[in-house]
Copies of this chain bind each other. A is one copy, B any other.
């Protein structure tokens, strides 16, 4: 009986630790590398967003994310992924390096009403669990607020 209580306490504390973001957490976007590639951009030293976004980034979307990137209007369930890699230029060629972070935006108008209907998260490097956003996405949203006309999304579909 005591053992069972101990197990319960242990499993509860593990749950609490792992579930810090549980109520409104944004899931790691499993399989996004085979989603549709929407566009690419590289930010270099000296760019206002060099910290933390210096490198080359590709934006991928699930089906609703791609649809939204074309129209500027996003249905709940839309997911956009900002995949940031190191970018090295040598011998007049620029190549992709290690992954720096995976940024995610998930549309849920009700759950994320305080941040424009989007949940924001970042995952460090190749980790699926090491989260980078610790303010409920408010700082992300502050920058994305400038894009109100396209529902707070910077990315537009590039043919």
Contacts and interface: CB of A to CB of B under 8 A. Distances in A.
Interface stretch (A5-13, A43-51, A108-116): A43-51
A127 interface: no
Interface of chain A: mostly helix, strand, loop or mixed: strand
Interface of A: 33-34, 36-37, 39-47, 50, 56, 58, 60, 66, 89, 91-96, 99, 126, 158-159
24 contacts: A33-B36, A33-B159, A37-B60, A39-B96, A40-B40, A40-B58, A40-B96, A41-B93, A41-B94, A41-B95, A41-B96, A42-B42, A42-B93, A42-B94, A44-B92, A44-B94, A45-B92, A47-B91, A47-B92, A47-B93, A50-B92, A96-B158, A99-B159, A126-B159
Given A40-B96, A45-B92, A47-B92, 7 more contacts: A37-B37, A40-B56, A41-B96, A43-B92, A44-B93, A44-B94, A99-B159
